[in-house]
Amino acid sequence: MSVVNWLAAIEESLDHPDHSQCRRPKCAARGALVRLRRDLHDQTGTTLVGVGMGVEAAQRLIDTDLDEARRLLEDVRSEIALLVKQIRGIASSRDESDQVEPPDVGSRIGPAVRTMVSRMNRVVGDRVRITAKVDAAVDRLHPLDRGVAAAVFWIVREALTNVLKHSNASCCTVIVTVRSGELCALVEDDGVGFPAQRVSRGSGLMNMVERAREHGGRCRVGPRVPSGFAVNAAIPLTASARLSA
């Protein structure tokens, strides 16, 4: 049994009638387990996937493009450093405010998404082409709530990781925009998609929905017609966020 599934089993046990006499501690414990399970899957899990893909890409290039192989291994080194930081942050967190922020994000989601997509394209090569389209208005948002920026980052990263692992897609598009007072992110591909029953059971897919809801937003995940899959998230901007000139 994986660590994530083990935590899910503990979470389910908290709903057992034997725990009905201590509702407040039970809710607090469940909330902590949900966050731990989600962070292990979305942060640690996706980082490990990136490390593995980076090493494989470097191995393919080591005899034909040594300089690019070295650059990929440097990215892997950075990913491992991030992984150590994530594990330490998850282990020491006490509440929802103690969260490990994604690298190079802060309150600037536009550059972070572009960097993420650029690195993934270098890793996957010609297998799938990922295109990032970040609206100019996104770069002018100031100040953007760091929690909102982090939520969008992890949603996009989880969606892209699923594309690379499961979709067998040839192309994928990431679109980040500002629309009707919301920060919106769309990730769609032309791959094989997911069966409907897996959409409701997949922990990574449901984690994206939960991240959006935590900030008063929404996230729809599901198959595209005639093929492919789409993740469509929208999170309200805080009252202080505004478009700078």
Whether 238 and 213 map to the same domain: the answer is yes
Report pLDDT digits (tens) over 104-158: 676 689 999 998 899 888 888 788 899 999 999 999 887 788 889 989 999 999 9
Non-local (6+) Cβ contacts of 19 within 8 A are: 13, 26
b/e sequence 10-21, b meaning 16+ C-beta within 10 Å: ebeeeeeeeeee
In whole angstroms, give the CA distance from residue 104 to residue 83: 14
Whether 121 and 232 map to the same domain: the answer is yes
Nearest 5°: phi and psi at 26? -65, -45
- Which residue range is the domain that position 120 belongs to? 101-245
Report pLDDT digits (tens) over 77-94: 887 887 787 677 666 665
Whether 116 and 81 map to the same domain: the answer is no
End position of a domain, from candidates 97, 129, 145? 97
CATH number of the domain within which 209 lies: 3.30.565.10
Whether 113 and 142 map to the same domain: the answer is yes
Residue with tokens 């791959």: 191
Whether the per-residue pLDDT at 24 is higher than 70: the answer is: no
User: pLDDT over 70 for what percent of the chain?
Assistant: 67
Whether 222 and 147 map to the same domain: the answer is yes
b/e sequence 109-148, b meaning 16+ C-beta within 10 Å: bbebbbebbebbbebbeeebebebebeeebbebeebbbbb
Residue type, 98: D
Nearest 5°: phi and psi at 221? -125, 140
Whether 89 and 108 map to the same domain: the answer is no
Instruction: State pTM to two decimals.
Output: 0.69
Task: Report the DSSP beta bridge partners of residue 235.
Answer: 183
Whether the per-residue pLDDT at 36 is higher than 50: the answer is: yes
Report pLDDT for 23: 53
The most distant pair of C-alpha atoms in the chain lies apart, rounded to whole Å, by 65
Whether 116 and 236 map to the same domain: the answer is yes
228 vs 33: which has the higher pLDDT: 228
Whether 60 and 105 map to the same domain: the answer is no
Non-local (6+) Cβ contacts of 173 within 8 A are: 130, 131, 133, 186, 187, 188, 189
Residue 192 tokens read as: 């094989």
End position of a domain, from candidates 80, 97, 114? 97
Three-state secondary structure call for residue 175: strand
> Is residue 219 very low, low, confident or very high in pLDDT (cuts 50, 70, 90)?
very high
- For β-strands 129-134 and 242-243, DSSP reports them as unpaired
103 upstream amide cis, omega within 30 of 0: no
The sheet carrying 182-189 orders its strands as: 129-134, 171-179, 182-189, 229-236, 218-223
Range list of β-strands (E), 1-105: none
Whether 155 and 230 map to the same domain: the answer is yes
End position of a domain, from candidates 35, 64, 97? 97
* Of 23-32, 34-43, 45-54, 188-197, minimum mean pLDDT range: 23-32
Q: Are 198 and 206 in contact (CB under 8 A)?
A: no
Residue with tokens 């890793």: 123
The total number of structural domains that make up the chain: 2
